[in-house]
Amino acid sequence: MKQNAVVLTGLIYLFSLAAVAANSHCGEQEQTVFSCSLGEKIVSVCASKDISATGGYLQYRFGKLNAPELIFPASSESSSHRLDIQARTLMFAGGGGGYLRFINGNYNYIVYTAIGKGWGTKDGVSVEKDGKLIANLKCKDVPVSMLGEDFFTRAGLSADQDEFLLP
């Protein structure tokens, strides 16, 4: 009986991972760096499998599944992510986190995930215009996330120059 319960639990876990992975704007030939459901819309950060400090791409994608409204940077052909994307890890009592800041003119799209003692988890995307928070959309599910120093270093991302406070 215990074996059946373990097998059933394992299968449920695998199916839930497949469901989470399906809720992404990233393609099969890409890495899902971050993705979560915001309700009717999805936010995803997708990278080429060969992303490095000198090549590959990183894109922010937002909108309904299979119909993103915003893709930034627009081209996946260039490696301009070193100019328009910054990253930082966060340290908290009993936890930590990380975020990516996509700089698009006067707008910043900040994808974040964090956990802290006393307040639990915070995941989502914040939108700033001219340095002021205009929207914060929280994940409705457990996000897929590779946000952290290992990925930031491998992708050659510079440290965020502005301080981001979790909403």
In the sheet with 58-64, reading across from the earlier edge strand, the strands are 67-72, 58-64, 42-48, 30-37, 144-145
- How far is the C-alpha of 24 from the C-alpha of 64, rounded, in Å? 10
Domain layout of the chain by residue ranges:
2-159
Average pLDDT, the chain: 84
Mean pLDDT, rounded, for 111-133 = 93
Res. 19 pLDDT band, cuts 50 70 90? very low
Residues found in the chain: 167
- Token couple for 14: 């695998």
Mean pLDDT, rounded, for 143-149 = 93
Phi first, then psi, for residue 15 (nearest 5°) are -65, -35
Assign 4 to helix, strand or coil.
helix
Res. 118 pLDDT band, cuts 50 70 90? confident
Which residues neighbour 105 within 8 Å (Cβ) at sequence distance 6 or greater? none
Partners of 138 in the beta sheet? 124
Tens of pLDDT along 31-45?
999 999 999 999 999
